[in-house]
Amino acid sequence: MSTVCLRAAREEDLAWLFEAFKTTLKPYVEWAWGWDEDFQRNGLYKHALDADFRLVIVDDKLAGGIRTEEQDSLLFVRLIFLLPEFQRREIGSGLLRAEAMRAKTLNKQLHLKVVRTNPAKALYERMGFFVIEEDQATYHMRLPDTAEHTPIPTESTA
C-alpha cells in the first residue's frame, strides 16, 4: 500500500509542477481551448503557491496536484492531476473521497469540472458524481447530497 500525503507547493516546485500538469492535462486542454504554453504556465503559477493548492506525494515522490476552492455553498475541486505512473492506483479516488468528507464536514456540496475528452469522467461517475451542466468543452459535475450528510462511496463500494 502506498503512502499518500499532501503539502503546500514551494517556489522550487514550480518547474516540476508545470511539467507534471503539462504531461497529464495538455491533450485535454489542447482539445478544449488550444494550448498556449505561456498562458497555461502563468495560470498554474498564479495559484500554485496558494493555500488551497497542494502537491500530492506518493511514497516520498512528487505525484501530482490538487487545488480546491471554498465557495458559499460548495467546495469546488478546481484542479486534480496525477502523473501517469500514479494513475489507476486508487490515489485520485482517495483524494476525492477526502474532499467529499471535507465538503460533508463543511455542509457544502462537492463540485468539479472535467474536459469532455478526459477519461477521468468515468472515475467521477463511479464515485457518484453526475453532470449538472455542460458546455462545448466541459462537464460540470456534482457529488449528490454531500451537504445533506449522506454516505460517501468508499473503496469497497466505489
If one counts the domains in the chain, the total is 1
CA proximity to 74, closest of 103, 36, 97 = 103
Place of cell 503559477: 45
- Percent of the chain having pLDDT more than 90? 80
Report pLDDT digits (tens) over 11-66.
999 999 999 999 999 999 999 999 999 999 999 999 888 888 999 999 999 999 99
Cα–Cα distance for residue pair 9/93, rounded to 1 Å: 21
pLDDT of residue 152: 44
pTM of the model: 0.86
pLDDT score, position 119: 94
Distance CA 80, CA 114 (A): 10
Q: Angle, nearest 10°, between helix axes 37-48 and 14-33?
A: 130
**Is residue 155 included in any domain, yes or no?**
no
153 domain-assigned: no
Structural domain includes residue 154: no
Strand partners, 81: 65
Q: Is residue 113 part of a domain?
A: yes
Instruction: Write the DSSP symbol of residue 73.
Output: S
Q: Which residues pair with 79 in a beta bridge?
A: 67
Nearest to 54 by CA among 13, 113, 115, 102: 13
In whole angstroms, how large is the CA radius of gyration of the chain?
15
Separation of alpha carbons 140 and 132, rounded Å? 6
CATH number for 40: 3.40.630.30
Q: Which residues contact 104 (CB under 8 A, 6 or more apart)?
A: 146, 147, 149, 152
Q: What is the pLDDT of residue 146?
A: 54
Task: Name the residue range of residue 115's domain.
Answer: 4-148
* Length, in residues, of the chain: 158
Residue 156 inside a domain? The answer is: no
